[in-house]
Amino acid sequence: METVGLHGGQVFVMMELWKQDGQRQVDLAAKIGVSTPTINKIILGLVNGSLVQRVRLENDARSTRIFLTDVGTSLKEPVEAQWHELEENTVSGLTEAERLILFELLQKMKNLYSGTEEVE
C-alpha cells in the first residue's frame, strides 16, 4: 500500500470511510479493533497526508467526524486493486476447498476476537 501513500492501519480506516464517509473516530476504532490513541494517530497521519479531514459538528462541539477528501476518495480504486491482488497471491496455491476452509477459520477468529462468538 506504500505505492499509494498508505501504511499500517491507515488502509483499514480508509476502507471503512469508503463504505460510509463521515464516521466518528470512536466508531472507526471499534470497527477496526484499535484503541482510541491508536485511531487518533492513524487519523492524524491521514489528515497530514490530505486524505481525510476532521469536521466538528455544529450541534455538538465535542464530537468530530472524519470525512474523505477528494484525494482520499481517489485512492479507492487503486487500493482495492492492490488489495484484491494481495488476496489472490495469498491463496493462489490453495484449492477451492482449502480457500473455503481458510475463509471460515479467519471468520471464526475475527468473531472470537470481536467477542461475537464463544470459545468452545
pLDDT of 113? 72
For the residues 40-55, what does the mean pLDDT come to?
94
pLDDT of 115? 62
Closest CA to 20 of 58, 79, 66: 66
CATH class of the region 2-114: mainly alpha
Residue spans of the domains in the chain: they are: 2-114
Confidence of residue 99 (pLDDT cuts 50, 70, 90): confident
Give this prediction's pTM.
0.74
pLDDT of 103? 84
Q: 93's torsion region: left (phi>0), alpha (psi -120 to 50) or beta? A: alpha
Condensed to tens digits (0 to 9), the pLDDT of residues 16-35 reads: 999 999 999 999 999 988 99
